[in-house]
Structure 1
């Protein structure tokens, strides 16, 4: 799929363009200066207070246990496949930044891998004085040993680009492809030619901070000397590139994202240098090229060649039918139902494999294009005793029909299986070690009723027989068509479930659990529905006798941080604790902080007075009421986050501390980017602090 933009900071600020005379001045704008001395000092002081506040022997013991799980030398490896090699980045106590390595496919499948270390990222950092983190490896065309590596200096989205030679196991020194730190999108056309989108060398960036242009770059020439294939407008989200090399072709694709959900796709035969052609598909559809074919997933209903295709459908046909024709060659190969929707797709040599969600649990189908797209259910070799999800981890469509699939559930550790999309026969390759005792636990699915009468599903994991008023930790997201499916609670298990807590995952609107319509139902002026859904799940837990409101905590990150920020400010009486990570919170200024402008299609434009009328209703920073009682909260961010950034988290914590009597704690590690952490030790420390907070305010609260 070509839509690869992400959901938000550069550290710069600017004044709003709308008339804000009716609003009080913001006294915390200085905290938006991400690397400013005063702002950094404030963040460091608050973080030190939080760490000291929750320091204890129990917290330290949990931290060590979590780190041991993350550093487990026998933990499951889920590699990526390229030809006869399997690649992985391995992190542990001795290699906190990781070893980029590979082993033979047959040996890995047999359970006897002999790993060859290609790059020691810790050693590279020591040699160069930069604490690099591994971001991505982009392998060159078949028959070459070249790889483009993207490395981040701090865990953020901006990376350097360096060319690596697998034959010599070293960086290329003679006329290499290399770029400095930037949010760059790049793909191989041939061994000596790239398609690149970058702001560097005069390429320019959009208001959202993504590349403005796509250029063809030949080895040995400056990147700015390459001809510009496509140029977007500064008001667009950005330009993103890919090259499909199926069957020896080199089809270049440039995605010009006008907003997060609307884009135009341009394709051309890069090997011949042909002129780009626009793909005649709806701008809200997802488009992917595969050899001479194109795959299109609709977001809204589409009338093509005189026939209406339902929203959420998948069509396949000759690429030329949507570049030079009217789309009449497209076939509908999947149509959703009220409960079953398309989650993703993946090609093998002879099959198109669909991952479906059926009431938010996974099924996989293999479609045969040579037999009228006949569908066959894939045997995942999984037990039906758990709520499960599955996804393709890796495949090489140029080689064969082999699929490497990860199957997991709330009580089922991730299991790596390998099967053939044509001649099935799943084989378990490896299974993750259990990280907690699940013998007395059960995973169930329930349904709450939201304010408008819509039924909202949620998963509940906890003791089969638990005491009334059990402490509950809720998780949710509800945005960007991202679905929350059953996932093994690797850290939640030992930190929460094992001691008697209940864990809940709410499948609220705004996500993709029931296809694009589920997402569109909570967009922009309908955003409140996502928050009403989550609050309804909290209320249902109380109505069912699982717990009481003061023993419910919730944890959300990024857009999920905005979700729990609204639980704090709009539904404080339904929660006993809030954990808010790397969040959006100031919806008045979010478009002016880092990549925020790219999400206007999701939330609305606060600089448009008409939009601000509804955006202000879910801007937690503006909903703080000094006279209202709020549950205790822990807010965390990362200084190096160049997607959402720490500014909004800082400001929210500062205003709560100054204007209310609420118990507020703040954490801000310097590294980690939008993920929050890079090294296993830092991940364990963050989660240990989160659960020490939850233990104090929920678990030890008198029933």
Structure 2
């Protein structure tokens, strides 16, 4: 069992480390500005230099002044208190589905509510889990641990011995940041192991090689990190061994993005220790460890490993390879020099394979066809052919693999849609039988609401799909308050999802929601993503604007009633739309954003994203980034919307400096804005439900206050 902040190498939906606001992520870099990458000179700053000192007194004083001003502006609106309470009630509701993670004989779940602010890690058996009221046993209480040790602990990444072992390595994060401290934990005694494995606070990765040996990638000395600030040296660490005595098994180079270890198991008892080297963000080299010798596998550099079945490594291709189309899932034999690849499934041009899970001897695959979800079970027959069986699930919804376990035939799949509360399905992968076992309650009134799918022509004629959620009787008079959301990067797909907060605070009041499937994402496989890389990225921005123009042309809304929202990479999208088309939007929510693209490579994890955005060290790419970088393209005398810019001090991935510089630049140009920086939460909008509810109250109060009450029912 591995419980991680989702790892960007694991699936197209969460691979970037730059995630939409409803996702979380893993492993990125320091919260302070870094020294420039080799050969790269930072562009001149347009904001006070003290803002780069993330935790400096002067910087925090600047932040607190603007936080107080923003809170004061919206707290006086009666909607704020109403929205904050409604959001918190939804977030803390005890009838949420406790999402499962199987290990051994138990189903584990991490749970937060009003009584467990940081959360509890708990477990029950499968039979109990299927009931309406499972009998849980608390394994680890994070609130009690933080209070006892007087540390601001939050649960980070957790990896346990496979198959079914009793020891885990618990990652503890300070305030939600990506850097973690690892401590060995005993699942039987439910206690940390005295004298057990201990890895001090750092951005690091760890896997169990066996019960007494770890594969660890970390900064063994302070300077042993890449220019992207990741570790690149992998060592074996034995039980009782000091860190300085660990045995090196592989070393990358500083110009790599990162290097780490991984250990896969299958139900036949095969063990596959690996080294995974990422020369760049989207390229990877995989080595099989044979003792202390690393044997490189002849896999394409643009591919992801998804699991291990009957001695076969399951690989998703992000490029064409040996006659297999990009986006295919294949199985290879890592012990053979030619890998003997077998096709599992190949998507069509309008499909993408979103997730792959491994059960005892089968694969569980979620596939999207024109952004509509399906789930399939694949098994290999005696002739070495893979055969698929589609599961009978609801249509026109999002489908994702929640959990599967190599020791059992049980998998869990979630089904959700804009107006469909999430349902958890339990699947017998041996027979294909699927049953809905848990249903999230409806959290808002869907009466009269409809979901439509439309297409808008972009500047090159490509049709861009988008979803519209609105009241069926909403007049097409251009006066419907509308929120347009997109992400557009890192091959992350945007699919329909149920949100109680969105429904309660937006839909019930007459708001229209639009989700755009623009290029840069993964909705139609690797090609949809690759179309917007580096200097081609303007097409991503054009796609978004095309959707905005289309919903105005359809009279769903008009610029006076249209707001836009995006986070992280989507925050960059918002910044560009804000500066390129200021007259198209009335409001803009810019969350945990990248905004200073002339300096991004020298800030936090920026150097790792050159594959996506390009480098300022390359003249053509610098010229493009100069044209689009939001901080540098703010202009005096332009009538911009009044944005709401949000970030967190503890974001050690993108970092808060981007948002600070953008706000400071607006201030220097005498442009109005709202700014809010949460002190905790990492690369998200808060570390606990109270903080998240406060920010959601800010956002929706801002939207209704800016767009006016015309659409309030």
> Does the alignment reach a TM-score above 0.5?
yes
Matched, 1:525 2:535: yes
Alignment of 1:656-671 (within 5 A): 656-661=666-671, 663-671=672-680
Identify the match of residue 211 of structure 1 among 231, 237, 258: 231
The answer to whether residue 296 in structure 2 is matched with residue 286 in structure 1 is no
Number of the residue aligned with 2:53: 33
Task: Go from structure 1 to structure 2 and tell me whether the alpha carbon gap of 1:24 and 1:678 turns closer, same or farther (over 3 Å shift).
Answer: closer
> C-alpha displacement at 1:189, in angstroms?
1.0
Equivalent in the alignment of 1:226: 246
Task: Tell me what 1:654 maps to.
Answer: 664
Q: Report deviation, 1:299.
A: 1.8
The yes-or-no answer on 1:629 pairing with 2:647 is no
- The range that moved more, 606-615 or 447-456, is 606-615
Q: Aligned residue for 1:400?
A: 408
Q: Give 1:143 shift.
A: 5.4
Q: Aligned residue pairs: how many?
A: 684
Find out whether 1:475 has 2:485 as its counterpart.
yes
SS in 2 for 1:341: strand
Q: In the alignment, does 2:320 pair up with 1:301?
A: yes
Number of the residue aligned with 1:377: 390
What does the per-residue CA deviation read over 1:358-397, in whole Å, with 9 as the maximum and x for residues that have no partner? Answer: 00111112122016212111112x2x4xx30111111112
- Alignment-derived partner of residue 683 in structure 2: 674
C-alpha distance in 1 between matches for 2:34 and 2:400: 40
- Structure 1 residue 409 and structure 2 residue 429: aligned? no
* In 1: Cα distance, 2:524 partner to 2:236 partner: 39
Residue of structure 2 equivalent to 1:68: 89
CA contact (8 A) 1:98 1:120 kept: yes
Give the structure 2 partner of residue 184 of structure 1: 204
Q: Is the 8 A contact 1:122 1:131 kept in 2?
A: no
Provide the residue aligned with 1:241 in structure 2: 261
Q: Secondary structure at the match of 1:461?
A: strand
Instruction: Determine the structure 1 residue equivalent to 2:144.
Output: 123
User: Aligned match of 1:275 in 270, 273, 293?
Assistant: 293
1:484 maps to which of 486, 494, 503: 494
Structure 1 residues 547-586: aligned runs within 5 Å: 547-586=557-596
For the pair 1:429 / 2:426, whether they are aligned, the reply is: no
Deviation, structure 1 residue 701 = 6.4
**Residue in 1 aligned with 2:173?**
152
Q: Given that residues 435 and 494 in structure 1 are in contact (C-alpha distance below 8 angstroms), is that contact kept between their aligned partners in structure 2?
A: yes
2: CA distance between counterparts of 1:651 and 1:25? 8
Note closer, same or farther for the CA distance 1:288–1:278 as it changes in structure 2 (3 Å cut): farther
Closer/same/farther in 2, CA of residues 655 and 176 from structure 1, 3 Å limit? same
Q: CA deviation at 1:555?
A: 0.9
After superposition, the Cα gap between the structure-2 partners of 1:13 and 1:2, relative to the gap in structure 1 and judged at 3 Å, is closer
**For residue 45 of structure 1, what is the aligned residue in structure 2?**
65
- CA gap of 1:648–1:701, structure 2 versus 1, over 3 A, is farther
Between 626-635 and 366-375, report the one with greater CA deviation: 366-375
Matched residue SS, 2:421: coil
Secondary structure of the structure 2 residue equivalent to 1:97: strand
Q: 2:34 & 2:328 partners in 1: Cα distance?
A: 41
Please give the secondary structure, in 2, of the residue aligned with 1:338.
coil
* Equivalent in the alignment of 2:13: none
> After alignment, is 544-553 or 238-247 more displaced?
238-247
How far residue 136 of structure 1 moved from its aligned partner, in angstroms, is 2.4
C-alpha distance 691-143 of structure 1, shift in aligned 2 (>3 A): closer
Whole-angstrom CA distance in 1 between matches of 2:292 and 2:147: 45
Q: Which has the higher mean CA deviation after the structures are superposed, 634-643 or 467-476?
A: 467-476
Which residues of 2 match residues 348-367 of structure 1 at below 5 A? 348-367=359-378
Give me the whole-angstrom Cα distance separating, in 1, the residues matched to 2:154 and 2:78. 31
Q: 1:34 to 1:420 in 2, by over 3 A?
A: same
Q: Say whether the 8 Å CA contact 1:16–1:589 is kept in structure 2.
A: no
SS in 1 for 2:543: helix
Counterpart for residue 342 of structure 1:
353
Equivalent residue, structure 2, for 1:450: 458
Rounded Cα–Cα distance in structure 2 between residues aligned with 1:258 and 1:29: 32
Alpha carbons of structure 1 residues 702 and 342: separation in structure 2 relative to 1, 3 Å = closer
Give the root-mean-square deviation of aligned CA atoms.
Answer: 1.9
| 8 Å CA contact 2:182, 2:201 repeated in 1 | yes
* Deviating 4+ runs (over 4 angstroms): 15-21
Give the Cα separation in 2 of the matches to 1:628 and 1:104: 61
Question: What are the Cα deviations for residues 512-538 of structure 1, in whole angstroms up to 9, with x where unaligned?
Answer: 000000000000011111110000000
Of stretches 536-545 and 129-138 in structure 1, the one that deviates more from structure 2 is: 129-138
TM-score (norm 1): 0.94
Q: Partners of 1:73 and 1:490 in 2: how far apart? A: 14
Among 685, 695, 699, which residue is 2:694 paired with? 685
SS of match in other structure, 2:66 = helix
Q: Deviations over 1:113-161 (max 9, x none)?
A: 1111111111111111112111122111335311110010110111110
User: How far does the alpha carbon of each residue in 1:456-509 deviate from its partner, in whole angstroms, 9 at most, with x for none?
Assistant: 000111111113210000110000000001111221111111100001110000
5 Å-filtered alignment, 1:252-267, equals 252-267=273-288
| Aligned with residue 628 of structure 2, among 604, 614, 618 | 618
Is the 8 Å Cα contact of residues 177 and 651 (structure 2) preserved in structure 1?
yes
Partner of 1:169: 190
**Where do 1:457-468 residues align within 5 Å?**
457-467=465-475, 468=477
3-state SS, counterpart of residue 535 of structure 2:
helix
- Contact preservation (8 Å) 1:478, 1:560: yes
Shift of 1:702: 9.4
Assess, with a 3 A threshold, how the Cα gap between structure 1 residues 16 and 85 changes in structure 2: closer, same or farther.
Answer: closer
- Deviation string 1:277-323 (CA, Å, 9 cap, x unpaired) is 11101111223451521222222222x3xxx22222222132223xx
Task: Indicate yes or no: 2:330 matched with 1:315.
Answer: yes
Contact 1:69 1:435 (C-alpha < 8 Å) held by counterparts = yes
In structure 1, the residue matched to 2:3 is: none
TM-superposed deviation, 1:436: 0.7
The residue number in structure 2 matching 1:535 is 545
Distance 1:501 1:552 in 2: 10
Measure, in 2, the Cα distance between the counterparts of 1:299 and 1:425: 31
- 1:106 and 2:127 are equivalent in the alignment: yes
Gap regions ≥5 residues in structure 2: 1-6, 11-15, 19-27
Query: Matches of 2:469 and 2:188 in 1, distance apart?
Result: 48
